Structure 1
Amino acid sequence: MPFGLTNAPTTFQAAMTTEFRHMLDRFVLIYLDDILVYSRSLDEHVEHLRTVLERLRQAKYKANRDTFEFVRQELEYLGHYVTPQGIRPLADKIEALRVWREPTNTTDVRSFMGLAGYYQRFITGYSRIAAPMTRLQSPKVPFVLDDDARRSFQALKTAMLMATVLSIYDPTLPTRVTTDASGYGIGAVLEQHDSNDWHPVEYFSHKMPPINSLDDARKKELLAFVMALKRWRHFLLGRRRFTWVMDNNLLTYYKTQDTVSSTIGRWMYFIDQFDFTRKHLPGLSNRAADALSRRPDLCAVTHHAFAFDEELQRHFIRGYESDPDFATLYAHVSSDHPPASHYRIADGYLLLHSRGKDLLCVPRDRRLRTRLLGEYHDSPLAGHFGVNDTIARLRQRFRWPDLIIDVTRYCDSCEVC
């Protein structure tokens, strides 16, 4: 094939895909002229190699033996370092991002976002973290590197330095998909369980489509699951039962309705192709996917650092019991015969169910509120946003009396701001 033809890469990739179609994603990966053969054992690997080499011979493709590497436990492939323990970005690529200078024009932004976007599966909440920088790639937007874009630039670099090692998908292991949706975006995590714990295979986040931004919470949650299934269809379609973890019993709700919209009907038809069980997890516990669906600073790094441990639980309970806003309510809801209301108790926490979401009630405990404000304003990926943005983020998760006063006072006293 002559060099320089516009369609040469596409044509060659199509030819290779045709030759190895029945092997792809079973024991072969192909990108142009790079062929990766993977196996579970040495004996199996030898058989796979014979099959691949025989197919090359039949198709009359010549291979350069000097470029072959056989029986490798660890290797670099398409910008990733692959080991039996998992997959991670190459160190030199991460270093390139770390030392990347602040962009001065649209071309610089596109170069940076091209490299960062290639590794977005390793970054929780990528679409929301990158939103201010993504806007600058448009030729219709004048290039102005404002404070939001600078925070997005630094947050992406920090997130890449803290990138999680992703596990290699194994169809024999228990699998779960955790989803969440907010007014800002959609988040999902694909995980698998080995003999010890759950490990992430891939993170996924997506900006909420404008047409769906005004939908109710249930429809957004269902959209999140549909988008996750489309993203990981090659993993999940046809496999034995996996678990869908969500914070709304929305399938039960929609299946009990006499009529649903045509959109919901199409989504339900698509979902019915998959074999899964449902598991309800309150939003307070569903931190990973919940964080992915929120704004840039509410990524999983922040939520993992801010764990709801026993000490924090005691602070909440003591705060409820001494708070003039919540003391009587907390006593009534935690009684043996609580009155019907939108409030409920979960693990000692007082939750308000509003617009399809459980909001955590925050008592008047100065130490507790300061800690929350610190996590949502000062944490490494929070970006020290202003009063209005901080209030908006906190309102997504908390029922907080005097929120405006507390946030204004805290931001005014912030030395960094």
Structure 2
Amino acid sequence: MDFIVGLPRTPKGYDSIWVIIDQFTKSAHFIPMKTIYHAKTYAELYIARIVSLHGVPRTITSDREFAYNNSYQKSLEMAPFEALYGRQCRTPINWSEPGERVTFGPDLVTQAEEQVKFIHDNLKREQTRQKSYSDKRRTPLVFEKDDHVYLRVSPMKGMHRFGVKGKLAPRYVGPFKITEQCGLVAYRLKLPPHLAAVHDVFHVSQLKKCLRVPEEVIDTSQIQIQLDLTYEEKPIKIIDQKQRSTRRRTINFYKVQWSNHSEEEATWEQEEFLQTKYLASNLCKN
């Protein structure tokens, strides 16, 4: 079931639609609603409009009347109305057409059982087909020993197990190092001492690969922020050098690693710029 809200208000005050669909037969009910209704009103409407017609459902999933129920469903190979009642829905065009066959007694039961089996087979075939399409695009997550991963924290357990709480709390904690693989879909993580009470083996669905190892992450507490909310980058090492010749002169370039950054983030700078601002001769070169 689901709700369609934000609709223009009708003369009778309805401004939303309650959509209830049977997952098996695909039949649907559309109930006009008012957003001011309370839970008691919803329960009364559900009993009057659904339970009175179909009985109490085994399960309810919270997630379309005539045009939808009479439309062809590929997975059923028939319309939802025909799957539910065993016959096609009659429209005003064929209301007066004679010759409709009437089924009684055991024939009705046999026909209903054949209809249910037919629908089950069609649904299973469609689900298998959709699964084959999904499996082609889905690649399993595989990690290696010593990889670093983030651990997904559930909203309920994260508060008690990892001390993560609040609406803006991170969805992942870590990163943590993988010490070994346990089976095909589980990994053991190296957790810090304050998480010693947490079981250290987790399913692969709870993990997300860390693209940058913790050793390369800069501690922001060491960065000195100035009053205008800026900080100064200083060259700490020259990694490489090259020359570029023009008609008049040759320009030297140096690949410089900056403070608060890793070697992967090194940039090429002109020798003149480095001498003017940082005195490149004092840099240590690999």
In which range does the TM-score fall when normalised by the shorter chain?
A: under 0.3
More helix by share: 1
Relative contact order higher in (CA < 8 Å, ≥ 6 apart): 1
